[in-house]
Amino acid sequence: MHRLVANTRKSFFDQGYLDEQFVQLEELQDNSNPNFVEEVVTLFYRDSARLLYNLDQALEKRPLDFNKLDSLMHQFKGSCSSIGAKKVKIECTNFKAYCNARNAEGCKRTFHHAKREYTTLKKKLESYFQMLRQVGPTEMACRPR
Amino acid sequence: MNLGGGQVVNKQSMMPSSSCASWKSTAGGGSSGGGGGDGGVPDQFPAGLRVLVVDDDPTCLKILEKMLRNCNYEVTKCNRAEVALTHLRENKNGFDVVISDVHMPDMDGFKLLEHIGIEMDLPVIMMSADDSKSVVMKGVTHGACDYLIKPVRIEALRNIWQHVVRKRKHEWKDFEPSASADEQKPPEEPDYSSSANEGHNWKNTKRRKEEDDEAEERDDSSSLKKPRVVWSVELHQQFVAAVNQLGIDKAVPKKILELMNVPGLTRENVASHLQKYRLYLRRLSGSQHPGGMNTGFMGSPEAGYGSISSLNGLDLQALAASGQLGQLPPQSLATLQAAALGRSNNSKSPISVPVIDQRNIFSFENPKRYTEVQSQHLPNSSNSKPMNLLPGIPTNMEPKQFVSLHQSGQHSFGSMNNQVLIQMGGQNQIQSQTQSQGQGQGQVQVSTNPHHGLRQPVLSSEMLTRGGVVDLATTVYNPVVSQASSLVDFSMNHKTDSSGNSYPLGGSLGISNITSTSSTLQGDVNLDTKVSRRGIVPSYDIFNDLNQNGYRDWGLQDVGGLTFDQSPVLLQHNRPSGQEIGGQNRNLTSNKVIFSPGVETGAHRNGSNIGQPRNSYVGENPLRVKAESLNDGSSHNTLYPDHYSQDDLLTAILKQQQQQEGVGQPENEFGFDGYALDNLPV
């Protein structure tokens, strides 16, 4: 089981779902905050749901307000980067590029991708944390990457 | 968001704080009070650093909080800028450094940065996921100490203490020449200012010193310190004249001293004053370019050399005013101004007339001074609209105006500018009259809007366009002067006229940290105060001990000391026509003055109005500067004696400081008795 956990974790990095920032979070976890990573991720998903909703709404408007979209996406991107959600962040960057180019289609498309990545990561992390709980906190100590 | 959280942290960081003197001070004020003050614990600097984190993203906020806690810092988190400002205002010395996000829904991070710079003069670190050069540059121009790119790593946070140390060190430098107390500290500076490795050394030395000296400082601060030099208006004028004569570049303390030929004045006194003056000038010129601010005082400088400053001044005042009142006008400008003015004293300080007077005095004083300064900068020739920084201080008129303004406006000092302007409008008739000044009466008129409260932004924009508030101010004031009815209260103003310089400013200057742009001039004055204050105020402050006394005196202290440096605006105004401008400026300044005192009143009042004026002064300066620019033509300024130059203002400021110190009375601003630069490193 431990190996499974370790491998799962490793796969996140290998496949590009998570980046170095996630490691920073892991390193912050300690005895006083034994579930720090999970707490942060949970908070992220809860808060970002609101941001995604706003983005959805903004993308429904006609015509599109690119400045607003850029601003909303900026917030979302910042959040993603703080937990190390690499793939989602990449899509956010693409979205912003399309926004700057005032490309509505591009924006919608990349937003769709971003949401997909976001949901995928959420599922993966949820199962990962569940695994961790089963394994015990010690598992989180010094993981090789 | 949770002060409690921050405080809880104390446990972790308490220890260190107790060891350092600065910690002690902070301990008292901040959360770290808990175990502090023992002095028994070895320095663990930078542990215990009190950080305020502001970010609307809860995920980031949580992560940052954890990271900072892991660095053994005391963390307080806020998800809203307004809340953060409230925290900062309530705990003047409660924090050492602020970390803020750039993009926030309720207030732009840069606005918050401005506010903090003006009100509290704390180091502020900006952060954002946006790493584009323009945004980073904006951070730099707005005075951020550092700029972190998100996602932030813990390593980046470990070294933020350096900004605190650096700032204090810088402040100390200002103090050093003049303050005896400083002597003790300076030696230590090199220790801690260097890298973290040396922090230990610094800590040790500091701690030792602190422990030993703290008591001394507190008790005998006066004895430890050298006898303060009171930079009266006259004295300051002489100083500025000497500097002008020599040329700002060539002005060395020795020569200035010789030119001034003032018995009892030492080269050291002059050197320290010169330093402040230079900072002030730098700030004035520096504030000119930042583009962004515009709404607030910062932006204004762009508008016009003089005008901007005036804007700033107004803004500051407004901020100050509002600050005092405790209301934070939504507009950043207003807030800024309020902050500037009252620095967060936020109490709804009733802008009592007396207070205003003091403030006015400052404004008057400052303008005068500034005008001179400006002339230095700009060979004044062109200043048709003299930078009214100071010039605006119309002798009595302005004060009155302000008074009325205050009374009317009052609470939203944030828009003090507006209010002032508005009021002026009320006086309107006057305005039209004053229009003679030609300054942009139109602008003034704008201000007259009834909504004085937050008008400032409007005003500022106008002013900017025009050339600054100055016009407004001047015009406004001028007329007012004639009317002088309401403002009569500004006794201060009157006095100024008569005596020519009662600078309440002096006092106020000290108080407000108007570090922000506008009050650069005040900076001079403030420098003194500021310096001292800074020492005290800074959260970490080792200097606190030194400043102990200063601390209490000044309302400013809370503010963080008026850093005149920031009010370059003032300096910029060159008052072409000495008197007139001055007169007008005076008005302006006085307006400013008004605000600040009011604002301050609530908060730090030293208990004397003087204290307030200081704050206002800070705010005022910006106004004043503007006033100066306005002055282009007000003929009626004859009210103001020539000497109301920037020097006067400075003197006024200084006076105010004195007053705050309890030296003078608010009323007699003009007669600066010479205020001791108490503020200086106490």
| pLDDT tens track for B259-313 | 888 888 888 888 888 888 888 777 767 655 444 444 434 433 343 343 444 444 4
Residues of chain B with Cβ-Cβ distance to A79 below 8 Å are 57, 59-60
60-79 of A, contacting B, C-beta below 8 A: 71, 74-75, 77-79
Q: Which of A48, A77, A82 sits opposite B63 (nearest CB)?
A: A82
pLDDT tier at B227, thresholds 50, 70, 90 = low
CB contact under 8 A, B151 and A24: yes
Helix, coil or strand: residue B500: coil
Kindly report the backbone phi and psi dihedral angles of residue B264, in degrees, each rounded to the nearest multiple of 5, phi listed first: 90, -10
Q: Which residue of A has its CA nearest to B127?
A: A78
Per-residue pLDDT tens digits for A5-31:
899 999 999 999 999 999 999 999 998
Residues of chain B with Cβ-Cβ distance to A28 below 8 Å are 63, 66-67, 70, 154
Give me the percent of chain B exceeding a pLDDT of 90. 6
Residues of chain A with Cβ-Cβ distance to B153 below 8 Å are 21, 24
The residues facing B646 across adjacent strands are B369
Q: Is A97 on the interface with B (CB under 8 A)?
A: no
The CA R_g of chain A, rounded to the nearest whole Å, is: 17
| B444/B72 Cα distance (integer angstroms) | 52
Q: Which of B62, B67, B150 sits opposite A81 (nearest CB)?
A: B150
CB contact under 8 A, A78 and B70: no
CB contact under 8 A, A74 and B67: no
Q: Which of A28, A30, A78 sits opposite B60 (nearest CB)?
A: A78
**How many Cβ atoms are within 10 Å of A49's Cβ, its own excluded?**
12
Q: How far is B390 from chain A (nearest CA, A)?
A: 42
Class of residue A101 by CB neighbours under 10 A (exposed 0-12, middle 13-18, buried 19+): exposed
Residues of chain A with Cβ-Cβ distance to B135 below 8 Å are none
Q: How far is A79 from chain B (nearest CA, A)?
A: 7
Residues of chain B with Cβ-Cβ distance to A21 below 8 Å are 151, 153
* Disruptive mutation site among A26, A28, A46 for chain B (greatest number of B CBs within 10 Å): A28
| B166/B162 Cα distance (integer angstroms) | 6
Give me B79's structure tokens. Answer: 């998800």
Per-residue pLDDT tens digits for B336-367:
444 444 444 444 444 444 444 444 444 444 44
* pLDDT of A102 over the 50 cut: yes
In this structure, what is the dihedral angle of CA atoms A50, A56, A62, A66, given to the nearest 10 degrees? Answer: 70
CB contact under 8 A, B60 and A28: no
Per-residue pLDDT tens digits for B496-539:
344 434 333 333 333 334 333 333 333 343 434 443 444 344 34
Q: Which residue of B has its CA nearest to A25?
A: B63
C-alpha pair distances (Å), A143 with each of A34, A129, B416, B455? 15, 15, 58, 58
CB contact under 8 A, B63 and A33: no
Q: Which of A40, A48, A77 sits opposite B63 (nearest CB)?
A: A40
pLDDT given for residue B244 in this prediction: 85
Residues of chain A with Cβ-Cβ distance to B154 below 8 Å are 24, 27-28
CB contact under 8 A, B129 and A74: yes
Positive/negative CA dihedral, B354, B356, B358, B360: negative
C-alpha pair distances (Å), A94 with each of A52, A58, A119, B104, B522? 16, 17, 18, 22, 49
Q: How far is A62 from chain B (nearest CA, A)?
A: 23
Q: Which of B58, B67, B153 sits opposite A43 (nearest CB)?
A: B58
Q: Is the distance from CB of B312 to CB of B319 less than 8 angstroms?
A: no
Q: Which of B56, B57, B151 sits opposite A21 (nearest CB)?
A: B151
The pTM (predicted TM-score) of the whole model is 0.43
DSSP B73: -
CB contact under 8 A, A79 and B154: no
Q: Is the distance from CB of B311 to CB of B628 less than 8 angstroms?
A: no
Alpha carbon A96 to its chain's center: 16
* pLDDT of B332 over the 90 cut: no
Give me B103's structure tokens. Answer: 């993009």
Q: How far is A111 from chain B (nearest CA, A)?
A: 18
Name which residue leads in pLDDT, B233 or B484.
Answer: B233
* Disruptive mutation site among B59, B108, B149 for chain A (greatest number of A CBs within 10 Å): B59
Q: Which residue of A has its CA nearest to B66?
A: A28
Residues of chain A with Cβ-Cβ distance to B60 below 8 Å are 78-79, 82
Residues of B with CB under 8 A from a CB of A: 56-60, 62-63, 66-67, 70, 103, 128-130, 150-154
CB contact under 8 A, B150 and A78: yes
pLDDT given for residue B675 in this prediction: 44
Per-residue pLDDT tens digits for B589-622:
333 333 333 333 333 344 344 434 444 333 344 4
Per-residue pLDDT tens digits for A54-86:
999 999 988 889 999 999 999 999 999 999 999
Give me the percent of chain B exceeding a pLDDT of 70. 27
Helix, coil or strand: residue B372: helix
pLDDT given for residue A25 in this prediction: 92
Q: Which residue of A has its CA nearest to B128?
A: A78
Q: Is the distance from CB of B347 to CB of B308 less than 8 angstroms?
A: no
**What would the mean pLDDT of B367-382 be, rounded to a whole number?**
41
| B206/B184 Cα distance (integer angstroms) | 9
CB contact under 8 A, B59 and A75: no
CB contact under 8 A, A47 and B59: yes
Q: Which domains can be identified in chain A, with CATH numbers?
A: 2-135 (1.20.120.160)
Residues of chain B with Cβ-Cβ distance to A30 below 8 Å are 70
Query: Could you tell me how many CB contacts below 8 A there are between chain A and chain B?
Result: 59
| A60/A52 Cα distance (integer angstroms) | 12
- Is the preceding omega at residue B58 within 30 degrees of 0, hence cis? no
Give me the percent of chain A exceeding a pLDDT of 90. 77
Q: Which residue of B has its CA nearest to A33?
A: B66
Q: Is the distance from CB of B317 to CB of B620 less than 8 angstroms?
A: yes
Mean pLDDT of the residues in chain B = 54
Alpha carbon B87 to its chain's center: 19
pLDDT tier at B217, thresholds 50, 70, 90 = very low
pLDDT given for residue B417 in this prediction: 40
Residue recorded with tokens 């730098």 = B282
What ipTM goes with this model? 0.92
CB contact under 8 A, B129 and A78: yes
Positive/negative CA dihedral, B618, B620, B621, B626: positive
